Amino acid sequence: MRSRTLSVLLKKVCLALGFLLVWAAGAAAVEYNLTAKVGSMSLPDGQTVPIWGFALGDGPVTVPGPRLVVPPGEGLTVHLTNLLGVPVSLVIPGQKLPDNNTGPVWTDWPNETTSWSGSRPAGNYTARVRSFVHEVAPGGTGTYTWNNFKEGAFLYQSGTNPAAQVQMGLYGAVVKNFDVDQAYSDSETGFDKEILLVYSSLDPVMNRAIASGQFGPGKTVPNTRDYAAKYFLINGKAWPDPAQERINGCTEILAGEDVLLRFLNAGYQTFVPVFLGPYLTLRAEDGNIYPFPKEQYSLELAAGRSVDAWWSPSSEGSFTLYDGRGHLTNAGAPTPGGLIARLQVGQLPADSQAPVVTGLSASPNPTAGATNMALTGTATDVATGCSNIQAAEYWIGSTDPGAGSGTPMSPADGTFDSAEEGIQATVDVSGLSNGVHTVWVRAMDATGWGSASSLQLQVGPPETVAIYKTRYRRLSKTLKVFARSTAAPGSVTLTAVGFGDLAYRSTKNDYFGKFKPVASKPPTVTVVSTGGGSDTKPVPYP
Amino acid sequence: MRKRRWFGMALAAAALWAIVMEPAAWAKILGVQGTSFQLVAKQDRITLGDGDSVLMWGFALGNGRMQYPGPTLIVNQGDTITVNLSNALPATAGNVSILFPGHDVAASGGVAGALTREAPPDGTTTVTYTFTASRPGTYVYHSGTRPDLQVEMGLLGVIVVRPTSPTPNSACPPVPDGHNAGPDPSLCVGTKFGYDHEDTAYDREFLIVMTDMDPRVHRLVEFGRMDEIDTTNFFQTVWFANGRNFPDTIANAQVPWLPTQPYNAIFLMHPGERLLVRLVTLGRDPHPLHFHGNHIRVIARDGRLLSSAPGNGPDLSFERYTVAVNPGQTVDGLYRWTGALMGWDIYGHAPGDDPAPYEFLGDHGANFPVILPSRDDVVFGQLYSGSPFLGGEGSLPPEHAGLNVGGGFFYMWHSHTEKELANNNIFPGGLITFLGVVPWDVPLEAE
C-alpha cells in the first residue's frame, strides 16, 4: 500500500544496533503518489456532478481522497501530479506548512498569466495570494514533505484558491497514530477499531460552473459568495446511499470494543453530529488532547475541524448518527437524505457474494483521436461480504473471454490487500473501429469472479460542437439553444453553461435546451460537451 | 428600606403584555410530570411578536391543543418513561416520529422510518417509545421524520430528568463571603439539585428553549405548495425563547391570547438565590444567549455534568457571559445575583440601616454615584420603577405603564447575535427576555 524511504530492514538493523533509533524514526517518511484530476460524483437522487478530486497514482478519483496513513514516528511525503487545467497544491491544516514550501504564490488576479513565489513581489501592492504553498502546474508533478508530523486526524486539501478547489472535492483525510492501537501518547486514547467520518457539502451549481470554466470574474458564477450547499455528505456519500447504512464498512465492530470515531469537516458550514442513543467520549480536537474528556451525545463540528470521539458499544445493533442542524435532505427533497449514517455493531456476515465494480471511468471518452485510454474503477466487496479483492480484469466487445481470461487490471495502491480497491488499466484503443464499444470490468475475491460492469466507450475523431441557433424572448424570459455534435448520436451530454443540459432529439439529430426564467438576455451562450467539444455564440437581440 | 405592598394584579392585567404579578406565572419550569405521556401531533397556529399568525405542527398533550414548544416532560431519574405518539396532522404532512437523543429508546408500533418508527397521519395509529430516564439532566425530543421540515414546523420539546439524590431540603442559599445573612428561613423556597451532586444545588430553575423560524416554509405548507419547500434554503427571520418572541416572552404564562404558546420566559428571583438555567437549542443555528447581571457558570452539557471523574461534581464548570448551545444540544448553568461590587448601596441604605438579606456588605451605605435628573427631564423605560434602588418606588409620570410594581431590577437576557433581536426586521423582538430581581419582601411562588 505504501513505500518507505527507509526500508523496514534498515530500521531493524538500526534497532539491532541500538543506535540512532531516534534519528531513524525521525527521518523516515511514508510516501504517497496522489493525482489531482477530474471525476464525477453520483448522488442518491440520480444527479451526477463533476468534481475534482485526488486519486492514488493512476487509480480512480475519489471524494474524499484516499485515506493517507502516516505510521507512528514517521513523516509524510506526497508526490502530487496535476491533471487538472489549473494549478493545485497541498496543505494540511493543523500541521506546519510543508518543509519544502516555497510559497505563497502571488498573481495579478484576475490576470493569472504571471505569478511570483515567496514574498509579495516588490512594489506590487495589488498582487493577491493564489496559493498558500508552492503549486503544481497543470500537467506537472510536485512534492510536499512534512518531516515532523503531528499525531491526530487531519484534512489534507488544496491550498490553491481553496474557496473553489476544496468544495470541488480536493480534500481527504490523513491520520497519524501514536501506536497501531493508540491515537495519542495518553494511554487513555487506545482503541480497538478506528472509523473515519469525513463530513462535507456540495453545491452542484458551483461545481458545474468551475468544471466548465464558467467560474471567475465576468463569468456565470463570478465567485464563491453565493455558495449554497445542496448535498451533505459523510465519506463522500449522502443518505440513502447503501454505504451509509453501514458507515463502518468492512471494519467489524464488536460489543465492548473501544471504537475511535474521527470526525472531520471539509464542508463550508458547521455540522452538529448527534449520536442517537449512546454517548460519545470526546478526547481530542484538531489533534490536541483535552485535559479531561467530555461526555456528550452530540458534538460541534465546525468547518475544518477534527474531533476524536470514543465509544464502547454495550450491545450489538445499529446506531445512528444524524445532523442536529437539519442537513437531512438531498437538495430539498422530502425523503430522508444528507447527513444520516449508521454504525453496525456485530460480526461481519459470512461472505457468499463476489465483488462488484463501481465508478467505471474511461478517459478520454470519446477517445477523440487518442491512442491510449485510461480505464479506472473501484472493485469493492464492502457491501457483498468484505473479502479482499484478489484480481480484476476487463475486455472490450460483446464476447466474454471467460472469467479470469480478460486483460488484468492493476490495483491503484500497488497491492490487492483490502475489500475495496481502486483498479486501473491503460488500454490501447488505436485498433478499435470508430463507433461505440462496450468495455466490461469484473473483479474477484475468495468467493470467485463477480458479475461485470460496463461503460460505453466512444471511439472516433475529435468531437466538434456547433451552436447553430440561439433565441431569447424577453416577454417569456425564455432562452432556447440549438446545437449539434459530431459525436455518435446521443452519446455525449451537451450543457449550456450556467443554464443546464440540452436534450438530444433523435428526429433532428441535434441537442436542444429551453431555459426559463432567464432574467435578461445573456450576451453569449457556451455549450460544452462531455466529448470534449465546445462552442460559444452570441445571443441575438430579439 | 421601605415596606412594599403586594398589589399589581389589576394594573398589570390591563396592559396587553404586561408582567402580571401573579405567582403562577414565572418562577418555575412549567410542564407535565409523570411516567407515561400521550403526545398527539397536530396542526394549529401561533402568533408572532409582530402580530403575524403562522401555521405550525406541534405536539399536544392528549386532547389538548398543539403547543410550541411541545409539553415539557418532567420525570424522575430511574423511571421507565413511555411516550405514546399518534399523528393527527393533515395527510400532506406525512408521518411523524420522535427522537430522544441521549436516551436508549425502544420503539414499537407504526411504520419503520429512517431514524425511528413513525406514526402515519391517520390520527389513530400509535407509536410507543420507551426508555429509562437513567441519568438526571436536560434533554430534547423532536421529530425524527423529515426533521429539516418538521422541527422547523414546531415538532419539538424538552425533557427534564430530576435526580433521585441528593434529597431536596428547606435550607436557604448559603451566604457568600462579605454578604449579610439570609432572610427568615420561612421565606426561602428550599434547596433542590439539578444533578446527583451537592454542587448542583439551586433555589429556582428556568428553562429557555431557543428556536428559529423561516416563515416562508410555513406559508408554503399552508398553501399546500409542499413541493416548493427546499429546506437547504432556510433563512430564518424570527427567533423564539420558549416558543414566543419578545415582547410576548415576558407576558404571563398560559395567557388566553396565546393559547398554543403557553410558556413564557420571564424569570424572577430574590437576591442571593441560586438559579439553575436549562438552555436548549432546536432548529438550525446556535443562538449565543447573553446574560446581563452576572456571568453564568456552565455545569453540564447534553445532560452530563462537566466532571473530571464520576462523583467529582461539576468541577470542570466554567463561567461565561454568553453561552451558545448547538441545535440538538442542551447546556445547564448556575446563575446567582446579589448586587455585589456595584460600588453603591443598591437598597439606598444609610450607613446605620440594617442590611438586607444577602446584601453585599462592602457597599452598605455607599452613596448612589450620580445625582438623578428631575423626573421631567428623563424618559422612563417601562420597567423602571421610578427609583434606582432595589425595591424602591419613585413617582412615575402619569402616562407610564408602571409595570415594575415590585421595584425590581430587570436584566435583559438575549441572543448576542444582535440581528436575532427582531421580529421580521422589527426591533425589539425575537430572542429577548428578562431576569427580574425583586426584593425579598416581594413574594415569589415556591418551587
Which residues of B lie closer than 8 Å to A, measured between beta carbons? 94, 99, 101-105, 113-116, 144, 146-149, 151-152, 226-227, 229-234, 283-285, 301-304, 306, 308, 316, 326-329
Give the residue among B192, B198, B158 at the shortest CA–CA distance from B307. B198
pLDDT value for A27: 61
Are B302 and A327 an interchain contact pair (Cβ–Cβ within 8 Å)?
no
Span A412-457, pLDDT tens digits: 999 999 999 999 999 999 999 988 999 999 999 999 999 999 999 9
Are A322 and B115 an interchain contact pair (Cβ–Cβ within 8 Å)?
yes
Q: Are A483 and A501 in contact (CB under 8 A)?
A: no
Q: Are B115 and B123 in contact (CB under 8 A)?
A: no
Question: Is A298 touching B (CB cutoff 8 A)?
Answer: yes
Q: Is the pLDDT of residue B256 over 90?
A: yes
Residues A173 and A154: their CA atoms lie apart, in Å, by: 6
Q: Which three cell numbers stand for residue B151?
A: 422541527
pLDDT value for B1: 39
Q: Quick one: CA dihedral A337, A338, A344, A350, positive or negative?
A: positive
Q: Are A60 and A66 in contact (CB under 8 A)?
A: no
Give the residue among B160, B174, B195, B179 at the shortest CA–CA distance from B28. B160
Cα first-last separation, chain A: 61
Across chain B, mean pLDDT equals 92
* Strand, coil or helix: A205: helix
ipTM metric:
0.91
Q: Is the pLDDT of residue A19 over 50?
A: no
pLDDT value for A499: 84
Residue B378: which pLDDT band, with cuts at 50, 70 and 90? confident
Residue B187 distance to chain A (closest CA, Å): 38
Question: Is A278 touching B (CB cutoff 8 A)?
Answer: yes
pLDDT value for A13: 46
DSSP A447: T
B-chain residues within 8 Å CB-CB of A335? 146
A225 contacts: CB under 8 Å, gap ≥ 6: none
CA atoms within 13 A on the CB side of B367: 4
Give the residue among B285, B271, B287, B282 at the shortest CA–CA distance from B322. B287
> Which residue in the set A277, A297, A322 is minimally distant from B302, CB to CB?
A297
Q: Which three cell numbers stand for residue A137?
A: 502546474
Residue bearing the bigger pLDDT, A2 or B164: B164
pLDDT value for B229: 96
DSSP A246: G
Q: Which chain B residue has the Cα nearest residue A203? A: B232
Q: Which chain B residue has the Cα nearest residue A334? A: B146
CA distances from B172 to B176, B179, B332 (A): 12, 14, 21
Three-class DSSP labels, chain B: CCCCCCCCHHHHHHCCCCCCCCHHHCCCCCCEECCEEEEEEEEEEEECCCCCEEEEEEEEECCCCEECCCCCEEEECCCEEEEEEEECCCHHHCCECCECCCCCCEEECCEECCCCEEECCCCCCCEEEEEECCCCEEEEEECCCCHHHHHHHCCEEEEEEECCCCCCECCCCCCCCCECCCCCHHHCCCEEECCCCHHHEECEEEEEEEEEECHHHHHHHHCCCHHHCCHHHCCCCEEEECCECECHHHCCCCCCCCCCCCCCCCEEECCCCEEEEEEEECCCCCCCEEECCCCEEEEEECCEECCCCCCCCCCCCEEECEECCCCCCEEEEEEECCCCCCCCCCCCCCCCCCCCCCCEHHHCCCCCCCCCCCHHHCCCCCCCCCCCCCCCCCCCCCCCCCCCCCCCEEEEEEECCHHHCCECCECCCECEEEEEECCCCCCCCCC
Question: Is A329 touching B (CB cutoff 8 A)?
Answer: yes
Residue B280 distance to chain A (closest CA, Å): 12
- H or E segment at A162? helix A162-168
Residue A83 distance to chain B (closest CA, Å): 33
Residues A364 and B108: their CA atoms lie apart, in Å, by: 53
Residue A453 neighbours by CB distance under 10 Å: 19
A-chain residues within 8 Å CB-CB of B144? 322
Span B258-307, pLDDT tens digits: 999 999 999 999 999 999 999 999 999 999 999 999 999 999 999 999 99
pLDDT value for B234: 95
Report CA B92 to chain centroid distance, whole Å.
32
> Which residue in the set B105, B234, B328 is minimally distant from A298, CB to CB?
B328
Residue B19 neighbours by CB distance under 10 Å: 27
Question: In the beta sheet, which residues pair with residue A171?
Answer: A157
Span A266-304, pLDDT tens digits: 999 999 999 999 999 999 999 999 999 999 999 999 999
Question: Is A239 touching B (CB cutoff 8 A)?
Answer: yes
Residue of B129, B153, B299, B302 to mutate for A, most A C-beta atoms under 10 A: B302
Q: Are B231 and B148 in contact (CB under 8 A)?
A: yes
Residue A137 neighbours by CB distance under 10 Å: 12
Span B182-241, pLDDT tens digits: 999 999 999 999 999 999 999 999 999 999 999 999 999 999 999 999 999 999 999 999
> What values do phi and psi take at A533, rounded to 5?
-80, 160
CA distances from A307 to A158, A231, B167 (A): 21, 22, 38
CA distances from A136 to A86, A131, A211, A429 (A): 9, 10, 18, 29
Q: Is the pLDDT of residue B319 over 80?
A: yes
The mean per-residue pLDDT over the stretch A67-94 comes to 96
CA distances from A507 to A322, A469, A488 (A): 48, 17, 14
> Which residue in the set A239, A279, A331 is minimally distant from B304, CB to CB?
A279
Residues A159 and A136: their CA atoms lie apart, in Å, by: 11
Q: Which three cell numbers stand for residue A178?
A: 501514536
The mean per-residue pLDDT over the stretch A114-136 comes to 93
pLDDT value for A503: 86
The mean per-residue pLDDT over the stretch B129-151 comes to 98
Q: Is the pLDDT of residue B26 over 90?
A: no
> What values do phi and psi take at A509, rounded to 5?
50, 45
Residues A466 and A470: their CA atoms lie apart, in Å, by: 11
Span A340-393, pLDDT tens digits: 999 999 999 889 899 999 989 998 888 888 899 999 999 999 988 999 999 999
Q: How many cross-chain Cβ pairs, A to B, lie less than 8 Å apart?
A: 102
Q: Are A435 and A367 in contact (CB under 8 A)?
A: no
Residue A533: which pLDDT band, with cuts at 50, 70 and 90? confident
Q: Which chain A residue has the Cα nearest residue B235? A: A228
Report CA A53 to chain centroid distance, whole Å.
4
Across chain A, mean pLDDT equals 91
Give the residue among A340, A111, A454 at the shortest CA–CA distance from B116. A340
> What values do phi and psi take at A202, rounded to 5?
-145, 130
* Strand, coil or helix: A229: coil
DSSP A10: H
pLDDT value for B10: 30
Question: Is A255 touching B (CB cutoff 8 A)?
Answer: no
> Which residue in the set A272, A279, A292 is minimally distant from B327, CB to CB?
A272
Q: Which chain A residue has the Cα nearest residue B308? A: A292
Give the residue among B14, B13, B17, B9 at the shortest CA–CA distance from B406. B9
Give the residue among A27, A300, A192 at the shortest CA–CA distance from B323. A300
Residues B35 and A238: their CA atoms lie apart, in Å, by: 37
Residues A514 and A525: their CA atoms lie apart, in Å, by: 13
Q: Are A442 and A392 in contact (CB under 8 A)?
A: yes
> What values do phi and psi take at A358, rounded to 5?
-125, 170
Q: Quick one: CA dihedral A141, A146, A151, A157, positive or negative?
A: negative
Residues B221 and A137: their CA atoms lie apart, in Å, by: 51
